Structure 1
Amino acid sequence: MDALQIMDQFDRVRPALQPIVSAITHKVAGYEVLGRFQEGEEWKSLGTFFLDPDIPTEFKNELDEHLLDQAVDYLLETNQPGFLSVNRSARQLIYGDDEALLTFLLKQQQKGFTLDRFVLEVTEHDIEEEFESLNHLLRYYKTYGVQLAIDHIGGASSNIDRIRALRPDILKIDASLTRSSNLENFQDILHTLSVLARRIGAVLAYENIEDANQLYFAWKNNGHYYQGFYLGKPSCLLGEAVQLDVMLPTQIQTFVEREKELIAKRIRFTESCHNQLKKLSKWQDESHADELLDEARQLFDDRTFRLYICDESGRQVSGNLRKNQHLWRFEQHVRGSNWAFRPYFLENMMRMQRTHHGRLSDLYADIETREFVRTFSYPLTSQYFLFIDFSYDFITENDFLFMN
C-alpha cells in the first residue's frame, strides 16, 4: 500500500469503529478508531501504514486527524453516546508541536464532542522507551479531561512504577495471552495489574477477545471493558448501527450461573469439612496436639498432604504431619515456628473466633511444594486452630476448588 497514494486520496479513507463493551451495562460503551483504505470493493486495514517507521510522522498525524474527525462527526450526527479511543505512538505525540493533538481535540469539543469522551491510547512499549518525553505531556492532557489508556499491557511487569506515575484511566490487556504456554506467569502479572488498578482508580479492559473462553476469563478477572472480533468486528459502514455478534447479557448470565455453582460447591465443601472436624476429640493442651493431628488425619487421609496446629498468635504448637510417598510422618523441627506474617492469617483467626466456624482459603502456591493448594482452617478452641492443606491432586480433580 503506497503512502503517497493514501495521502492523495483521503476520499477513499474511512474510520473503522470497533465496539468496546461495558461489563456493567452489557452495551457498547465506546469505540476504538481504526483506519481503512478502499481498494476496489475491499476496505483494507491501515495498520501497516501507521506501523511503518519509514512513513513520515506528519503523514500519520494528518491521516489520524482525518479519521478521528469523521468518527466524531458520525457520533454527533447519529447522537450516539460513548467514547472514542485513539491510538497514538510516542513519536506522533512528541513530533513538532507536542500540543497539536490537544489543539485538534479542542476543535472537536467546539463541535459538541467533549474532551472527556476521548481516550488516548499509548503502548506499554512507548511508556518504557519514551517515559521522560511522555510523562508530563500525558499528565497535561489528563488535566483537560482526556482519558488515558495504556495498551498492549500484560506481557511484562517491569513498568509498574511508570504506569503508577501516569495514573491512567484504563489498562488494556491482550486476551490472547490466555493462550500463552506460560499462563501462570501471565496470571501473576495480571494479579499485580489488578491490584495496581484498584490503587490508582483505573479499570481493566480486555482486547483481542476471540472466543467465549477468553470472554469468560476477562469477566472473571475484573474486566470492565471487553473488545475483540468475538464481540464485534471493526466496521467502516458508518451509515449502519453497530451490532454486537453475541447476545452479551445471555452470555454473561451463563458465566454468572457457572460461578454461582462453583461457589455453592465450595460452601458445601466447607460445611462438610467443618462438620467432619466436629467429631474430633476435645482439645486438651499443647502436649496432646500431635495426637489430635493424627485423629484429624484419619478423617482427611485421601485429600490432604499436611496438617498442623497454631495458637491465636501464629505460633505452631504441633509438628507437621506430612504425607510423603503415601507415608505419614511427623516433622518436629517446625514446632515453634510463627506464621502470623502470612497474608490474612490474623484476620482469619479473629473471624473464626467470632463465628466458631472453619474457613476455606483461596487458591495459592505453597512456598515449599510450589504447587497450588487450599487450606482449611478450623477453630479447636478460641485460642487454637487446626490447618489442613489439601493436595494439588485433590484440588485439580475438583474444579470448584481449582478455580477461585
Structure 2
Amino acid sequence: MFTGQPLPYFQPLIDTATGRIAGYEALARLRDDEGNVRSAGPLFTDPATPQEDLLELDRSIRRQALERFRDTPEGFLSLNISPAWISQLQPGKPLPSLQLLEEMGIASDQVVFEITELQGSIEQLREVVQRYRAAGIRIAIDDFGAGYSMLDRVLALEPDILKLDIQLFRQAAAGNGNSGDFVRALALMAEKSGCWIIAEGVETEQELHFALECGARYVQGYLFGQPAENFLPSEAVQQQFSRMRDHYVHAKLAEREKLAHLRRSLAELFAELRQWLQQGAQPARLPDPRNYPWLLRCFLCDAEGTQISPNFDWRDGAWQTDPRYLDHNWSWRPYFYQILAEAGEDSRVILSNRYRDATTNQYCMTSGLFIDDSRHLLLVDIDASAL
C-alpha cells in the first residue's frame, strides 16, 4: 500500500529544430499531508509493493495527466507503459489506454506511449504495440542501449522513438572510455531505421552538445526544466536553447578549422615524404616529427592496398623500422575504402574518419596520397588524441 496523493508532474521535451517545447513526459508523484512531493518511481521497482496497488497508482496518474493535457492541447504527451500491465491484458479485448483516450476525446497523434522496459513475452508486447500504432499512437522505448537483449526487441517492436539510456548517455557525454563511439553508433542505427532520438538527463551544455552531435530530435533534462505540476509556454526556453545551439555550431566550426589546418600540414608532410622517397628513402632522413606532433608512422602500399614498405615509427626520439607488416593487405579496413576510392587523384590528400586501432588501442586517423600515376599509395597514421 502506498501513502500520499497521486499526481502527475510534467517534464518538457525540447525540439532541437525549433528550441520550443514540443511535448511533455508525465511522471508519477505522491504528495503527503504536509504538501511535500516525492517521486513514486521507487514503488514500481519495489517487490514489496502489491501489484494491484501499482496498477491503481499507474491508472490514476495516467488519467490525471490526460485530463490536464486535454486542456493544453498543443504538442504531445508521453506516458509510461509497463509491460507488466500489458501482460495482464486479455488477447483481443479492448485496450484500457485506448479506451481512456477515446473517452477524453484526445487525438491519438498527440500521445506517445513509452515502453519502460522490455521484459516478458515479446510476442504479446508486439501484438499490443501494433494495436497502439494502428490507432495512430507513436511508440517510444526507454533506456535504449542498456541490456544485452535490447536490440532484438527493439527490432521486433519497430518503435518510432528511442530514448537513450541516461547513464550511458552521461558517460558518453563526459568522454568516459568507448561509450561515446558506442552511443554514436546507436544513434546512427536509430537514424537509419527511421527512429527519432530523445536524449534525457541533459543537465549541462556539454551534454546538450553531445546530444546534438548524436542527432537527437528532442532533449529533456534539468538544463531546460525540472518536472513540475504545471505546463510552460512553448517558447519558454527557446532563447536559451538557441544560444546554446549557436555555441555548439561555433564549436563545430572551430573543429572544422582545426581539420583544415591538419590538411594543410598533411600536404606539407606528403611533399616532404615524396622528396624523401625520391632521395632513396633512408629512415634517418625522414621529416622531423617535431613539426608534426600528431605523426605516428608512415608506410607505402601498392594501389591494391598491399604494404610494400616497412612501417616507419617515431619511438624513443628516433625513427624505427618495423618490417612485420610487409605484404599485409589493408584494403579490407573501413578507412581504406575511402582512400582507395580516390585512386587517380594524385594531388588530393585523403583523410579517414577517426577509428580505434585494434593493435595499439589508440584512436587514430589515416591519411593517404596516391603517387607515381596512382601506382603507389603513401600513407600516414595520425594520433587523434594529439590534435
Question: TM-score, length-normalised on structure 2?
Answer: 0.86
Say whether residues 1:384 and 2:373 are aligned partners: no
**CA separation in 1, counterparts of 2:224 and 2:129?**
30
**CA separation in 1, counterparts of 2:272 and 2:342?**
22
Give the deviation of 1:314 after TM superposition.
1.3
Counterpart residue number, 2:226: 233
Corresponding residue to 2:242 among 238, 242, 249: 249
**Equivalences for 1:131-280 in 2 at 5 Å?**
131-177=122-168, 178-179=170-171, 183-237=176-230, 241=233, 243-244=236-237, 247-280=240-273
Aligned Cα root-mean-square deviation (Å): 3.1
**CA separation in 2, counterparts of 1:281 and 1:208?**
51
Match of 2:365, SS state, is strand
**CA separation in 2, counterparts of 1:355 and 1:22?**
45
**CA separation in 2, counterparts of 1:79 and 1:132?**
33
Give the deviation of 1:98 after TM superposition.
6.3
**Equivalences for 1:67-82 in 2 at 5 Å?**
67-80=61-74, 82=75
**Runs of 5+ consecutive residues of structure 1 not aligned to the other structure:** 7-11, 399-404
Give the deviation of 1:264 after TM superposition.
1.4
Instruction: Tell me if structure 1 keeps the 8 A contact 2:338–2:352.
Output: no
**CA separation in 2, counterparts of 1:277 and 1:336?**
22
- Structure ranking higher in helix proportion: 1
- More displaced stretch, 273-282 vs 207-216: 273-282
Instruction: Tell me if structure 1 keeps the 8 A contact 2:84–2:120.
Output: no
Counterpart residue number, 1:88: 81
Say whether residues 1:13 and 2:6 are aligned partners: yes
Give the deviation of 1:83 after TM superposition.
1.7
The amino acid that maps onto 1:291 is: A
Give the deviation of 1:339 after TM superposition.
0.9
The amino acid that maps onto 1:306 is: R
Match of 1:24, SS state, is coil
Give the deviation of 1:155 after TM superposition.
3.4
Instruction: Tell me if structure 2 keeps the 8 A contact 1:60–1:92.
Output: no
Corresponding residue to 1:51 among 36, 40, 45: 45
Instruction: Tell me if structure 2 keeps the 8 A contact 1:290–1:319.
Output: no
Counterpart residue number, 1:323: 314
Say whether residues 1:113 and 2:103 are aligned partners: no
Match of 1:127, SS state, is coil
Instruction: Tell me if structure 2 keeps the 8 A contact 1:289–1:317.
Output: no
**CA separation in 1, counterparts of 2:98 and 2:282?**
71
**CA separation in 1, counterparts of 2:227 and 2:180?**
28
Counterpart residue number, 1:368: 359
Say whether residues 1:308 and 2:299 are aligned partners: yes
| 1:43-100 Cα shifts (integer Å, max 9, x gaps) | 33222333333334343333333323333333332332x2211112221221244677
Question: TM-score, length-normalised on structure 1?
Answer: 0.83
**CA separation in 2, counterparts of 1:188 and 1:128?**
27
**CA separation in 2, counterparts of 1:290 and 1:152?**
58
Instruction: Tell me if structure 2 keeps the 8 A contact 1:319–1:333.
Output: yes
The amino acid that maps onto 1:387 is: L
Instruction: Tell me if structure 1 keeps the 8 A contact 2:366–2:380.
Output: yes
Match of 1:278, SS state, is helix
**CA separation in 2, counterparts of 1:92 and 1:325?**
64
Give the deviation of 1:252 after TM superposition.
0.9
**CA separation in 1, counterparts of 2:379 and 2:284?**
12
Match of 1:329, SS state, is strand
**CA separation in 2, counterparts of 1:158 and 1:48?**
24
| 1:96-122 Cα shifts (integer Å, max 9, x gaps) | 446778343244146442223222222
The amino acid that maps onto 1:325 is: D
Instruction: Tell me if structure 2 keeps the 8 A contact 1:93–1:101.
Output: no
Change (3 A) 1:34 1:289: farther
Counterpart residue number, 2:385: 396
Instruction: Tell me if structure 1 keeps the 8 A contact 2:83–2:119.
Output: no
Give the deviation of 1:208 after TM superposition.
1.3
Say whether residues 1:63 and 2:57 are aligned partners: yes
**CA separation in 1, counterparts of 2:311 and 2:365?**
16
Match of 1:78, SS state, is coil
Give the deviation of 1:261 after TM superposition.
0.7
Give the deviation of 1:215 after TM superposition.
1.5
Give the deviation of 1:197 after TM superposition.
0.8
**CA separation in 2, counterparts of 1:369 and 1:264?**
28
Change (3 A) 1:256 1:38: same
The amino acid that maps onto 2:14 is: V
The amino acid that maps onto 2:59 is: E
Change (3 A) 1:314 1:140: farther
The percent of aligned pairs where both chains have the same amino acid is 26
Counterpart residue number, 1:9: none
Instruction: Tell me if structure 1 keeps the 8 A contact 2:28–2:41.
Output: yes
Instruction: Tell me if structure 1 keeps the 8 A contact 2:367–2:379.
Output: yes
**Runs of 5+ consecutive residues of structure 2 not aligned to the other structure:** none
